[in-house]
Chains A and B, each alone.
Chain A
Amino acid sequence: MRSGRLGRRVAAAALAAVLLAISGCGDLSRDELNRGVESLSALAAQGELVASGVARDATKSTYARVMAKTLGGEAEHEAEKLADAEPSPEVRAERHAAVRIAGELAELFSQLQTFPGDERHGALVEKHMGEVKEQADAVVARLTGEAP
């Protein structure tokens, strides 16, 4: 009887641990945040390349639009993930910066999606993507302790 109750408690604790792991709850660690921001930097780099094609009239508009939509979706997803997570106190400021960067990225991809054949817009987005990438890299440097 007693061992049955203990077994149920162990099972409940295990289930809670699994649910917690699946739901992704818990504090957002420095490493997890770092990976998220690195993904944002990678997305910005891809966005810069796509936008460069638009700016130079060296791409196909369907390609630029679909790529912008796909990459923008990934940026939005990353923004939601970062915004939902509860950061550990020492990375609160970096988490805030990361959410802002992800939002900016999503907005830039949205512009690229709307104007995939506009060279002037392409050049502007390319420039901003470069700036956003620099911001993301700066956050990564702060998180990894490589910032000057």
Chain B
Amino acid sequence: MRTIFKIALGIIAAIGGFLDIGDLVFNTQAGALYRYDLLWAVVLGTIGIAVYAEMSGRVAAVSNRPVFDAIRMRMGFGLGLVALVASTFVNVLTVAAELGGLAIILQLLFDGPFSLFVVIALLSVVVIVALLPFGGIERLFGYGGLLMLVFVATAIDQSPDWGEVAQGFVPSFSNSTLYLYFVVGVFAAALMPYEVHFYSSGAIEEGWDEKSLKENRLNAVIGYGLGGILACALVVVSGFLFHPLGVQPNDLGTVALPVQGAFGETGLLLALAGMLFCVGGATIDSSFAASYNLAQFLGWEWGRYRGPRKAPRFTFSWLVFLFLAMLIVLSGINPVEITEYSVVFSVVALPLTYLPILLIGGDPSFMGEHANGRISATLGWVYFGVIVILALAAIPLLLMTNGGGG
């Protein structure tokens, strides 16, 4: 009974923790521009993150090695360093985007100077991490993120043409570079590297071992799967309301407008609170991921469970990354723009993150009987192929579409 309860908690945390500012921005913009046509890309990204999260969680549980340990072991110091620099750059950009998003949502709720809310957001994150244990942090933001279910309720309330919605799940391609840019964006937003860095390190923080493999599989498949439903709901509500009106959702506040239309002030508050928890959780996840990577690569003591005294360099680097992110946001760059750049640049770093997981996960001499089976291996390699293609296309598409501006 206790195990079932634990699994349920993990799944709930995964659902609520799936969405971040990248998903909010790209999925809403995708719906506004292409109605339901990009739903297939959301599903593709969701399956991808579930496959690689399961694999990285399994590697961590069996070998007690998180992703960056694996990267250094498989790639050696030189290539590992390239991966570290690339992922740190992307992670800091992501932390900045999430922190800026957090400040925007606080501003929408309480009104006041943006820079003040940036500082409040940063201090809140530091206090929450200082006060709560690792599992508590995960659950707080995971459960809070469930408020995003109000977007599913909005989609149902809007009563779109469900046949048209279903058609969106069938992959379609277009010659338009903007369409291709959004395929990359929606896919990459689901597969941000920090998600697996955090997931695998979190597995070690929570003391997973071989007995946790069932929990890992259910968390990855059901948790991310249901999280994918929330992401699809964002596309649907935006496609239904914004597409016919020609709205271009360039602001985070616009994401909540369809819910206000359906359920008034209560709905709006639930949507903003859900977004607050999702983006807040992602701020912590991405900042932790940056410090996990650095500490694991350099062989420092790491982990929230060790505390600042036993892992001082890990804790200090976490504070430095948060501070750097705050400086980026306070420089005046729009957090939504930072989000777009962080998502697109993350695509370029994806192969460096996912290849070592795939190689180690499939190595029987390392994983024993828990090495990738036929389904995991096939899905893993197919996705790796997709990732490489998108990594090559991402920057040219970013430039050709003027950062998605058309």
Contact = CB atoms under 8 A, between A and B. Distances in A.
Interface of A: 35, 38-39, 41-42, 45-46, 49-50, 52-53, 56-60, 62-63, 65-67, 70-71, 74
Q: Specify which of A35, A46, A53, A71 lies most central, judged by the most chain B CB atoms within 10 Å of its CB.
A: A46
A93 to B, nearest CB: 22
17 contacts: A41-B246, A42-B246, A42-B248, A46-B247, A46-B249, A46-B254, A49-B245, A50-B257, A52-B261, A53-B261, A53-B268, A58-B265, A60-B109, A60-B268, A62-B108, A63-B108, A70-B251
A87 B272 CA distance: 42
Given A46-B254, A49-B257, A67 B108 contact: yes
Contact of A42 (B110, B247, B253, B265): B247
A39 B87 CA distance: 35
A57 B254 CA distance: 18
Given A42-B248, A58-B265, A60-B269, A66 B260 contact: no
A67 B268 CA distance: 13
B111 interface: yes
Nearest to A140: B246
Interface in B207-254: 241-242, 245-251, 253-254
Given A38-B246, A53-B264, 19 more contacts: A35-B406, A42-B246, A42-B248, A45-B246, A45-B247, A46-B254, A53-B261, A53-B265, A58-B268, A59-B260, A59-B264, A59-B265, A60-B109, A60-B265, A62-B111, A63-B260, A63-B268, A66-B111, A70-B251
B317 interface: no
A63 B253 contact: yes
B224 to A, nearest CB: 30
A67 B246 contact: no
A127 B264 CA distance: 19
Contacts of B376: none
B111 A58 contact: no
A88 B203 CA distance: 62
B107 interface: yes
B272 A71 contact: no
B110 A62 contact: yes
Nearest to B249: A46
A125 to B, nearest CB: 15
A72 to B, nearest CB: 12
A35 B401 CA distance: 13
B178 to A, nearest CB: 12
Q: Specify which of B253, B254, B257, B260 lies most central, judged by the most chain A CB atoms within 10 Å of its CB.
A: B260
Interface string B77-107: 0000000000000000000000000000001
Contact of A58 (B109, B246, B256, B264): B264
Contacts of A71: 251
Nearest to A38: B246
A63 B253 CA distance: 8
A45 B245 contact: yes
